[in-house]
Structures are given as structure tokens and as C-alpha cells.
């Protein structure tokens, strides 16, 4: 987390750029054959191109690591990452040339891909791959970051910890519920899946939102507004309540990980990052 971000390739013809700049340590650059899009990503190839052209890092999830997609990202001089939920996928992500791998455990908030807890999986993945590994799932304080670094991760990814940040787009009802929740107030459920492309799909949400959806009489819980566009949200739909959502927002999927225990107030994202990074550094110095 406290390492400088990777440099961005500037200028030139993106098509002529075969590989991204090195990230920390990268033994060899393995560029892959023509794109073959798996699962969810097949509808989104244009989106991948757009993201790769404008971002420093494009990160994939909910699909088996794919050489074609990684190559598509690398062609723009952009780094490619894959969030994984198993050792097998981590190995594959390294094999297809990902620059960073995110090991995500079932403690984390949001939609799930995998069924393993973070720490045992992290301990397996770190020695098995030769690319930087980030730990994700249930981490939300300095102790979690320090533990991940001590376990060999290069850093962490946090989602839930930022739900109540000043910059968060979460609906105020969602934000307040997150601030009030304990770790035991989250639940893994397969119920919020309307609109998801796969038949089977689980997610970790606040239990209160699951109970509200189960008790909701009707088909549509409300509307999701993004700019000028309004979309009806079905009961057990995958959309979470954003600031502009309307209706029975408490019955929408309030994604949250066990790290919800660390969210106690609304504060700027930069402050959250600074406190956690400084706290972890102090802990690591005290341990060494």
C-alpha cells in the first residue's frame, strides 16, 4: 500500500506497446495470443478496451483468468490484475501474465467468487506465484494490513471500509446501517441474484437488507438512478442502494464484509488510508 504506484506509459501508438511497465518484480513478460472472452466478460469487451485505454490498472473478477483479456489490457500499456478465490485461479492468473493478483476471501463484502477464507488461501497463494499479491476480504484496520504484509502480501484491497467515506456514493440509509453494524450482522446469501448472469451466485450483505427483502411484498423495491437513467430494481436484484436510489432502499442489496466492524463514522477516504497505513507501519516496527 505504501509503495509508489506503477508508472504509466505515455504517448506513442498503444498498438505498438506489447507489455506494461514492470510492477515491483516481474521476471518475464508473457504476452498472450488473441482474445478469447470468458463468461461475464464476453458482453463487455468494448468496456475492457475503454478501461484499458484510460486507466493504469484493469482488474478482473468473476471469471477464469484469461490470456486474451490480459493481452487486450497490456496492448494499451496498462497493468492487468485478477481477483481470485482459489489457488488454481491464482496460478492461472500468474500464468496468463497478470501483473497483480488479488486473493479474496469469503469474509469480504459484495458478490462472491470462490468459497475459501482469506488467510489460509493467502498462505497458499503467496509462495505459489511470482507476482505481487494483494489480500482482500474482512480487512479494515491497521492490524489487518500489518498481518497481510507479514503473511507475504504486497498490500491489501478494501471495499467495505470505504462505504461510509465522505466520497462514497452509498445511500444515506445504507451508510448509516454500515456504521451501526457489527461483524456478525453480515451474511452470505444466494438470494440477491436477480440480474446476475449466472444461476448460482452468492454475496455478503448486511443481514438487515436480506430480512427486509424477504419481507417485501411486491416485485419492484425501487429505482436506481445513474445520471439521467432510471432502472427499476427488482426484489433480490443485484443493485445496491446508491445516493440517488429511491423506494424501499433498505430492502436492496446492502453489500458489506465482516470488516464492517471497523466502520464507525464518515470520514475522508484519504484519512482512512493514512490512518491504516501509519498504524500498520507502527505495528510492524513494534513487532520487528
Reported in sequence order, the residue ranges of 124-260 that DSSP labels E, i.e. its strands, are: 133-136, 155-157, 186-189, 203-206, 220-226, 229-234, 246-247
Site string for ligand FMN, 38-77 (x = CB under 6 A): -----------------------x----------------
Q: Would you count residue 157 as binding ligand FMN (CB under 6 A)?
A: yes
Q: What is the CA radius of gyration of the chain?
A: 19
Q: Would you count residue 257 as binding ligand FMN (CB under 6 A)?
A: yes
Q: Would you count residue 83 as binding ligand FMN (CB under 6 A)?
A: yes
3-state helix vs strand vs coil in the chain, percent to 5: 35, 20, 45
DSSP state of 8: P
Q: Would you count residue 138 as binding ligand FMN (CB under 6 A)?
A: yes
- We find the least distance from the C-beta atom of residue 149 to ligand FMN, in angstroms, to be 16
Residue 27 CA: distances (Å) to CA of 40, 57, 87: 30, 19, 20
Q: Would you count residue 110 as binding ligand FMN (CB under 6 A)?
A: yes
Give the interface size with ligand FMN as a residue count (CB under 6 A).
22
Query: What's the CA gap between 111 and 190, in Å, rounded?
Result: 10
- In this complex, which beta carbon is closest to ligand FMN, that of residue 256 or of residue 280? 256
Scanning residues 221 to 250, which ones bind ligand FMN (CB under 6 A)?
Answer: 240
- We find the least distance from the C-beta atom of residue 235 to ligand FMN, in angstroms, to be 19
Q: What angle do CA 75, 81, 83 make, to 5 degrees?
A: 150
Residues that bind ligand FMN (CB under 6 A): 61, 83, 104, 107-110, 136-139, 157-161, 163, 240, 255-257, 259
Amino acid at each position: 500500500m505504501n509503495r509508489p504506484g506503477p508508472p504509466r506509459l505515455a504517448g506513442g501508438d498503444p498498438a505498438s506497446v506489447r507489455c506494461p511497465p514492470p510492477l515491483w518484480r516481474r521476471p518475464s513478460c508473457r504476452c498472450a495470443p488473441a482474445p478469447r472472452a470468458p463468461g461475464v466478460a464476453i458482453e463487455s469487451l468494448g468496456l475492457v478496451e475503454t478501461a484499458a485505454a484510460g486507466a493504469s490498472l484493469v482488474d478482473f473478477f468473476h471469471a477464469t483468468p484469461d490470456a486474451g483479456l490480459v493481452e487486450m489490457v497490456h496492448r494499451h500499456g496498462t497493468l492487468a490484475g485478477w481477483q481470485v478465490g482459489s489457488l488454481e485461479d491464482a496460478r492461472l492468473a500468474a500464468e496468463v501474465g497478470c501483473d497483480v493478483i488479488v486473493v479474496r476471501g469469503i469474509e469480504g463484502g459484495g458478490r462472491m467468487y470462490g468459497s475459501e477464507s482469506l488467510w489460509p488461501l493467502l498462505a497458499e497463494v503467496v509462495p505459489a506465484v511470482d507476482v505481487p499479491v494483494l489480500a482482500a476480504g474482512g480487512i479494515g484496520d491497521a492490524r489487518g494490513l500489518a498481518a497481510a504484509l507479514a503473511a507475504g502480501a504486497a498490500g491489501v484491497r478494501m471495499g467495505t471500509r470505504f462505504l461510509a467515506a465522505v466520497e462514497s456514493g452509498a445511500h444515506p440509509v445504507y451508510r448509516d446501517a454500515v456504521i451501526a453494524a457489527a461483524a456478525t450482522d453480515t451474511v452470505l446469501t444466494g438470494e440477491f441474484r436477480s440480474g446476475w448472469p449466472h444461476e448460482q451466485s452468492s454475496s455478503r450483505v448486511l443481514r438487515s437488507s436480506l430480512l427486509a427483502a424477504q419481507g417485501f411484498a411486491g416485485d419492484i423495491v425501487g429505482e436506481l438512478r445513474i445520471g439521467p437513467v432510471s432502472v427499476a430494481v427488482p426484489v433480490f436484484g443485484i443493485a445496491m442502494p446508491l445516493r440517488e436510489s429511491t423506494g424501499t432502499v433498505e430492502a436492496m442489496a446492502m453489500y458489506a464484509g465482516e470488516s464492517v466492524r471497523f466502520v464507525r463514522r464518515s470520514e475522508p477516504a484519504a484519512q482512512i488510508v493514512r490512518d491504516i497505513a501509519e498504524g500498520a507501519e507502527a505495528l510492524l516496527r513494534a513487532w520487528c
